Structure 1
Amino acid sequence: MNPSQISAPGLPGQPHVAYRNGSLHVEDLALADLAHEHGTPLFVYSKAAMLSALAAYQRGFAGRKALICYAMKANSSLAVLQVFARAGCGFDIVSGGELDRVLAAGGDPAKVIFSGVGKTCAEMRRALDVGIACFNVESEAELEVLSAVAVQAGKTARVSIRVNPNVDPKTHPYISTGLKGNKFGVAHERALLAYRRAASLPGLEVVGIDCHIGSQITQESPYLDAMDRVLDLVESIEMAGIPIHHIDFGGGLGIDYNGDTPPQADALWKQLLAKLDTRGFGDRQFMIEPGRSLVGNAGVCLTEVLYLKPGEQKNFCIIDAAMNDLPRPAMYQAFHQIVPLSPRNEDASVYDVVGPVCESGDWIGHDRQLAVQAGDHLAVLSAGAYCMSMASNYNTRARAAEVLVDGDKVHVIRARETIADLFRQEKLLP
């Protein structure tokens, strides 16, 4: 992408990221200044972008009984959680560690939904002790274990069963979760049986139904299909004498990585709520669990060009960010736009943009037209979701620093790791 062709006010999918006077900015701050001050790789997040994305959901639910639970696996940095907690959000968690992060960030445990296929007894006890809103139970075996844990603790576990509706979300197979071949949820055909069992077990209170079909969904039809299947089940479950107080439709709405055109959250929910009203469920409590769509386009990763390496078949632009910092390309063959912080007025060459990690899978972008030299800085766009939360220390690489931009202010929300940090829990033999 030639930055001179980018139209104001912002880059595609990232309205809070824009070129001004030949320099890329996030909100009111020049990214080149942040790179020089804080070093690279560096994750930079826009608070305004997060709240703008959240506002679309809030508009979609205006006048409804609804709880927006941020799916924190997308980005679990404490300050990011704090932004959403202060905005009134609940949280969708998938581990005991994520629960502790919510509490550390000031989140309300009474607005926490605990999802995930492999909850341990210790995690269940901790969640019961702090008083979470609901467990999204993902198997019949989990019902039995949760019942036993709740009875032993002398508490009641509020449960919603996650139903697998066998709907194709038309996304990458690694992030599809609502098909029969996926590990998530209870099969649609067994859901009524599971609800009857849940209603009979001590220590459990059935409060809702849950469905989540995948991530980076860019079409409306999978949501509409899944909703019909879930509402059919609600009718059957309530005919069996088991009331369903809330309906949880999960998350998964995609973002614009490379010309993707997902529906806007408010427009999508206008359609979904119309269907709910038509079928007589418009007065129910609703829960949703957006993650990527709240933070994905709020973040960029800044990186420095280390070397340009020409070759017979490929030219390589070697940067200081790698697959341990930005795992999505290596893991999902995902596309991220890569643009210079300060564009050069010279002819571009075609490069594979790669990192220093000792793997051929360590690439950030294939066949990118860039006019760059060693020492230049680049921005990897749409890096707010599933980058830092999935980062690793492979090749004994310290994880990047993170900063949050709020207008013309910047807050360091995670200090850069040191190599000493990586050794801290290790022991030499005597």
Structure 2
Amino acid sequence: MENENLLAIAREFGDPIYVYDASKIISQYNRLNNAFDKVKKVKLNYAVKALSNLAILKLMNSLGAGLDTVSIQEVNLGLKAGVKPANIIFTPNGVSLEEIEQVSSLGVQINIDNLSILEQFGTKHPNVPVCIRVNPHVMAGGNSKISVGHIDSKFGISIHQIPHILRIVENTGMNINGIHMHTGSDILDVEVFLHASEILFETAKNFKNLDFIDFGSGFKVPYKEGDIETNIEEFGQKLTKRFNAFCKEYGKELTLGFEPGKFLVSEAGYFLANVNVIKQTTSTVFAGIDSGFNHLIRPMFYNSHHEIINISNPDGKERFYSVVGYICETDTFATNRRISEIKEGDTIAFKNAGAYCFSMASNYNSRYRPAEVLWHNEKAHLIRKRETFDDLIKNQVDVDIFSTVVEEA
């Protein structure tokens, strides 16, 4: 997106505000889909948790993507966006049997990641098709908080417990139609994916009536100019060859599944904020903005890098700034970052703000969550209104129980 478009959106809708470029989402979807164009059946299920706005889900549906969901609320969002139940997979962790049964009753594909629930669900619903999430014990991901396939992870059923899975399946007579894994996020090395994939292929051989194999996602996207990223085209070429060979060996054309989230929406997103104050100390120049980690927590939570540009003065002389928020804690977005000269009142933009940004926002410090805009066909569409004070208190119950205490005192 051009700076003038972003500035116009900030002027029209106010800031802070999230902006998503639909054309970038579409191009990322097509890029991943094209990487596997030699596979007969491919299913990309967008990971709703990355960005769950209904407009985004409708866009994914229009592209032909399914949805990967982790809560019954995400399932209901998908249904409300017009996605068919058969195009939704439910991959929760640590939820109750009751929630899984509720989702199953909607016609959604169930994915179970622990032995206890697998046995309980299989006993009660042996005819319902179930996918099994395995833990391949592959350490992968940008950092420990987003690496989920290692031996100590809470996710998935250990590959060393395959005999337990097979015993449950035999005893219950349940229908296993899919095998799934997800090793982590921000994985750069294609060979890590391929190594984990071999483990998944070996696991799949234990089940004779599969419809699909889901390889998860976790592809690394670039966070700044010149940054490294997963070579999707190389991965597509190598996994396609291996997957097609496995299908021939298996004796059936299976569907190859992925559940991309960050890959599809991260680079499409921009977070715009106004500069409230420039504060010079003895050693640092702070640019304090009208936002904080209540709106964008990833730099504080994951130590993630978001490129920051001054769209009000993009060609100005560069200086070093520490960009900080207005939360009454240390909420630092960047330390001594080289940015075009910033003045109070300027609008700055955080890049790569499409994934796990608004979806992790909160009302901490009783601040309102920001608006969201989708840029599509050269036009800005408001897809979420900015919160108001009424939104902040709408679920609070104003109880009148303290007057008696005051009188007794």
**How many angstroms does 1:199 deviate by?**
4.1
For residue 130 of structure 1, give the secondary structure of its aligned residue in structure 2: coil
Post-superposition offset of 1:407: 2.4
For the 8 Å contact 2:141–2:218, the answer to whether it is kept is no
Distance 2:316 2:17 in 1: 26
The CA distance in 1 between the partners of 2:304 and 2:112, in whole Å, is 30
Cα deviations by residue, 1:374-409 (Å, 9 ceiling, x for unpaired): 000000000000001111110001101000011221
* Separation in 2, partners of 1:31, 1:102: 28
1:264 CA displacement? 4.1
Q: What residue number does 2:238 align with?
A: 271
CA RMSD of aligned residues (A): 1.7
Secondary structure of the structure 2 residue equivalent to 1:304: strand
Letter in 1 for 2:328: C
Q: Which amino acid aligns with 1:88?
A: G
Name the amino acid aligned to 1:343: N
Task: Show the counterpart of 2:333.
Answer: 364
The aligned residue for residue 26 of structure 2 is: 51
CA distance in 2, matches of 1:138, 1:346: 52
Whether 2:189 is the aligned partner of 1:219: answer yes
Q: Does the C-alpha gap of structure 1 residues 168 and 344 become closer, same or farther in structure 2, counting only changes over 3 Å? A: closer
Structure 1: distance between partners of 2:355 and 2:168:
37
CA distances 1:238-288 after superposition (whole Å, capped 9, x unpaired): 4xxx43331110111111113432234343222111122344468322111
Q: Give the TM-score normalised by the residue count of structure 2.
A: 0.92
Answering whether residue 45 of structure 2 is matched by residue 76 of structure 1, we say: no
Report the secondary structure of 1:308's partner residue: strand
Determine if contact 1:344/1:372 at 8 Å carries over to the other structure: no
Q: Is the 8 A contact 1:121 1:149 kept in 2?
A: no
**1:88-145 deviation per Cα after TM superposition (whole angstroms, max 9, x unaligned):** 111100001100100111111101111121222332232122101x211110011133
User: What is the 5 A alignment of 1:192-203?
Assistant: 192-201=163-172
Q: What is the distance in 2 between the residues matched to 1:301 and 1:87?
A: 25
Please state whether the residue corresponding to 1:183 is helix, strand or coil: coil
Structure 1 equivalent of residue 222 of structure 2: 256
Range moving further from structure 2, 104-113 or 259-268: 259-268
Aligned pairs, number: 394
Give the match's secondary structure for 1:255: coil
1:167-246 correspondence to structure 2 within 5 Å: 167-201=138-172, 204-235=174-205, 237-238=206-207, 242-246=208-212
Equivalent position to 1:118, from 94, 103, 111: 94
1:387-406 equivalent positions in 2, closer than 5 A: 387-406=357-376
Please say if residues 317 and 354 of structure 1, whose CA atoms lie closer than 8 Å, have aligned partners that are also in contact: yes
Letter of the structure 1 residue corresponding to residue 16 of structure 2? P
1:35 match: 10
Residue pair 2:45, 2:66 contacting (<8 A) in 1 also: yes
User: Equivalent of 2:113, from 112, 121, 138?
Assistant: 138
Number of the residue aligned with 1:312: 282
CA contact (8 A) 1:124 1:149 kept: no
Contact 2:187 2:230 in 1 (8 A): no
8 Å Cα contact 1:314-1:352 kept in structure 2: yes
- 1:334 equivalent to 2:289? Answer no
In structure 2, the residue corresponding to 1:293 is in which secondary structure? helix
Distance in 2 between the 1:87 and 1:199 partners? 39
Structure 1 residue ranges (4+ consecutive) displaced by more than 4 angstroms after TM superposition: none
Identity percentage of aligned residues: 32
Which AA in structure 1 matches 2:67? F
- The answer (yes or no) to whether the contact 2:68–2:90 under 8 Å persists in 1 is yes
